[in-house]
Amino acid sequence: MKSKKQMTFLLGILLALLIGAACSDESNRSEPVATKTDNGTSMAPPAKGAENRDKALVRVVDAMPGNQRLDTFIGDRLEFTNAAYKTVTPYKEVPITKTRFALKPSGQDAEPPIAYSTESISSGDHYTILVLPATDGSTTLRVMADNLALLPEGRASVRIINTSPDSGEIDVFVKNNEKKLFGGVNFQTVTAYNDVVPQTATLEMRPKGKKDVLLTVPDINFDALHHYTIIVTGKAKGAPKLDAIKIDDELVGATPVPPASPIPMK
């Protein structure tokens, strides 16, 4: 016979696993996603509906400095047009497949792509096509999963993307708090999401292991159940100067997952 303490321990593990499964199953969400940027708010349909239609939800974020405007092709279809530096497009439903993602100068459909990648995408999931500099200064793209799962009650989440070619590794802090939020974020790195307590905060980007501040991102409202993406772009030296693209994704009307009960250690 198992003791009462053993049963409590096992039940605690089961509860944690169930909550984890509920948080991670993005494609089953029935809430629309609201995306806020400095340029306004857009809405995406619920992931479950997209999954039923065998579609993924895809957007483009252009973090490539310069004046060039870009069109994005998925397979043979022109899906996003005329994206400029710091553009964040709304999510759009696209067919699921292992397919080619390609960038071309805007309006030049017959020209060869300036960058491309072949990736698999899944129905009901959210993806960002990130346009960014390559190590040699040319344009490249990356297709990344956004993982907009439901968060535990009383939590927000944030991730950092470093697209600055000369910033080196950066540490990320909440101002006036010397505990690192992220450490050693390399050029072209996309971090996992970290949970944060809801608050209004200023983020500081510092060279790894140093106190100097490369970039300050002021007054971010970390709201409960929201996913935030902060993209560091530009240059530490030269033009354009370092800046941040801020993206706030929310499952609208979602019921929060209760926080897991503490699991007894004995």
Domains and CATH numbers, the chain: 48-146 (2.60.40.1120), 149-253 (2.60.40)
Q: Among 124, 235, 249, 261, which Cα is nearest to 193's?
A: 249
Q: Among 265, 194, 259, which Cα is nearest to 19's?
A: 259
Q: Which residues contact 123 (CB under 8 A, 6 or more apart)?
A: 27, 50, 51, 53, 54, 55, 56, 96
Joined together, the tokens standing for residue 160 give: 């950092």
Query: Which pLDDT value is given to residue 247?
Result: 98
Query: Which pLDDT value is given to residue 250?
Result: 97
Task: pLDDT tens for the chain, 266 residues: list them.
Answer: 445 444 433 334 333 333 343 444 788 899 999 999 999 999 999 999 999 999 999 999 999 999 999 999 999 899 999 999 999 999 999 998 788 999 999 999 999 999 999 999 999 999 999 999 998 999 999 999 999 999 989 999 999 999 999 999 999 999 999 999 999 999 999 999 999 999 999 999 999 999 999 999 999 999 999 999 999 999 999 899 999 999 999 999 988 766 654 444 33
Phi, psi of 6 (to 5 degrees): -65, -40
Phi, psi of 17 (to 5 degrees): -65, -40
User: Is 219 buried (19+), middle (13-18) or exposed (0-12) by CB count in 10 A?
Assistant: exposed
Query: Which pLDDT value is given to residue 155?
Result: 93
Going from the C-alpha of 128 to that of each of 105, 143, 190, the distances in angstroms are 19, 6, 11
Residue for token pair 């870009």: 70
Query: Which pLDDT value is given to residue 10?
Result: 37
